[in-house]
Amino acid sequence: MNTPESTADLNDRVRSILAADRRSLRGVRIREIGVYAVLVLCGVFSLLITIAIVGVLLTETLNFFRSDEVTLSNFLGSGQWTPLLGSTKSFGIWALISGTMLVTVIAMAIALPLGLITAVYLSEYAPRKVRAVLKPVLEVLAGVPTVVYGFFALVTITPFLQWLHGGFNVFNATSGGIAVGILCLPTVCSLAEDALQAVPSSLRDGAYGLGGTRFDATVKVILPAALSGIISAFLLAIARAIGETMIVAIACGSRPQVTGDPRDEIQTMTGFMVQMAGGDVSNFGIEYYSMYAVAFTLFMITLSLTMIGNVVRRRYREAYE
C-alpha cells in the first residue's frame, strides 16, 4: 500500500512544501499582542462600570448632603420621607428601608421555604419525569419579566387578598411581597439545588448505608453539609428581593411610612426611584439628588449581601473540590 513507487512523487512534493518559507512569526506575534490588548480593554471595562457606579452615586449623594435642607442625622435617623412636600421636606430613609424590609420579609417567607423544599425535592426525591416538568416550569417563572409579576400582583393577587380580608388597601405590601417571593423562588431553588448537588455522593451513600431513610439522609446529612451553599442562596435571593423594582412600584403604592402592617400602602427604595423617574421633577432640585442618595443606600445594601453570598458560595465550592 505504501510502496515507494506510488508515493515517490508525493514525497517530493511534500518535501518542497515542508521546506518552503513558513509564515512570518512576526505578524502572528503582533496580532497576538493586539488581540490581547483588546481583550484586556474589554475586561477592564467591567471594572470601569463598578468604578462609575460608585463614583456617580458617591458624588451625587455628597451633593445631596451638601444641601441646607438635608442633614445626615435626618437622613439616617428619621422615619419621615417627604421630599416633595415643599415646606416640610424631610429625608428620613427609614421610611423607605422599612417598606423595603416589609416587602422582603413577606417575599422571603414564601421564597425561602418553598424554594428550599423544591430544591430538596428536585435533588433527592423527584423522579425523572417530574424533574422534566418542574425544571422548565421554574425556568419559565425565572424568565417572566418583572413587570408581568407587577401586573399579576395588582390585578390578581390584590383582589384575592381583599376577598380574603377586607382590610387590604388597593396598594399593599403583601401583594407585592408575594409576587416578589414568586420571582425569587426559582433563584433560591436553583442555587440551593446546586449546593445540594455539590454534596459528595459518598456522604449520601454513607447515610443510606447506616440504614437512614431518605428523610434522615436529607435532613441530617445532606442539608447540614450543604448549609453554606444554602445560606449563600438565601443571601443572593434577599439581595434580589431588595433590589426588585417594578413589582413594588406597581403593586405597593407610593406612601413612604414606617409600618409593620402588611395590608397598608408603603414605598420601597426602588419604588421611590421609579416615582422620581416617572414624574417630572426638575433635574437639579434637592429631590432629584435624593434619588441618588437612595440609590447609594440600595447599592451598598445589595452589594454587601451579594459579596457575602459569593464568598460563602466560593467557600463551599472549595470545600468539595
Partner 1 sequence: MVPRINSMNTVTKANTVTSKNTVTTEKEAFAGSPTIQTATPTEISQEQFALEILNLDSWYGDFQALHGVTIKIPRNQVTAFIGPSGCGKSTLLRWCNRMNDTIAIARASGTLRMGDTDLLSKSIDVVDLRRRVGIVFQKANPFPKSIFDNVAFGPRLHMKANRSELADLVEWSLRKAALWDEVKDRLNKPALGLSGGQQQRLCIARAIAVGPEVLLMDEPCSALDPASTLAIEDLMDELRTQYTIVIVTHNMQQASRCSDKTAFFFEGKVVEYGPTDRIFTNPENKQTEDYVSGRFG
Partner 2 sequence: MPESSSQSNSDQRSTPELRGRAGRMLTEKWFSYLCVATATSSVAVLCWLLYSILSHGLPALSWTLLSNPPEPDPEQAGVRPAFFGTVWVCAMCGLMTLPIGIATAILLEEFPPKSKLGGWVYGLIQLNISNLAGVPSVVYGILGLTAFVSMFGLFERDQDSQSSGFELGVTYYNQFFSEGDRAILIPVENVDDKLSVVSEGMEAYTFARDADGATIVDYSKLVPTEINVITYDDPYPEDPAVLENTLFADAEAGRVSQKSWYYFQVPFGRGVLAGAMTLMLVILPVIIISSQEALRAVPSSLRAGALGLGATPWQVVRTVTLPAAIPGIMTGAILAMSRAIGETAPILIIAGIVYIRNAPQHLMDDFTVMPLQIYNWTSRPQEAFHDIAAGGIIILLAILLSFNAIAVLIRQKMQKPLS
Task: Give the interface with partner 1 as residue ranges (CB under 8 A).
Answer: 1-2, 4, 7-8, 10-15, 17-23, 25, 28
Report whether 100 contacts 176 (CB < 8 A): no
Q: Which is nearer to partner 2, 75 or 152 (CB)?
A: 152
Q: Which of 293, 250, 277 is nearest to 103 (CA)?
A: 250
Q: Which is nearer to partner 1, 1 or 42 (CB)?
A: 1
Beta bridge partners of 81: 91
Between residue 200 and residue 229, which ones bind partner 2 under the rule CB under 8 A? 213-216, 218-219
Shortest distance (Å) from residue 260 CB to partner 2? 20
Which one of partner 2, partner 1, none is in contact with 250 (Cβ closer than 5 to 8 A by kind)? partner 2
Please identify which residue in 14, 30, 35, 210 interacts with partner 2, judged by CB under 8 A: 35
Q: Which is nearer to partner 2, 73 or 153 (CB)?
A: 153
Which one of partner 2, partner 1, none is in contact with 227 (Cβ closer than 5 to 8 A by kind)? none
Residue with cell 395590608: 263
Which one of partner 1, partner 2, none is in contact with 281 (Cβ closer than 5 to 8 A by kind)? none
Q: Which of 234, 216, 257 is nearest to 306 (CA)?
A: 234
Long-range contacts (CB closer than 8 Å, 24 or more residues apart) made by 36-41: none
CA distance 54 to 63: 14
CA distance 256 to 298: 15
CA distance 103 to 320: 35
Between residue 129 and residue 188, which ones bind partner 2 under the rule CB under 8 A? 130, 133-134, 137-141, 143-152, 154-156, 182, 185
Q: Which is nearer to partner 2, 166 or 211 (CB)?
A: 211
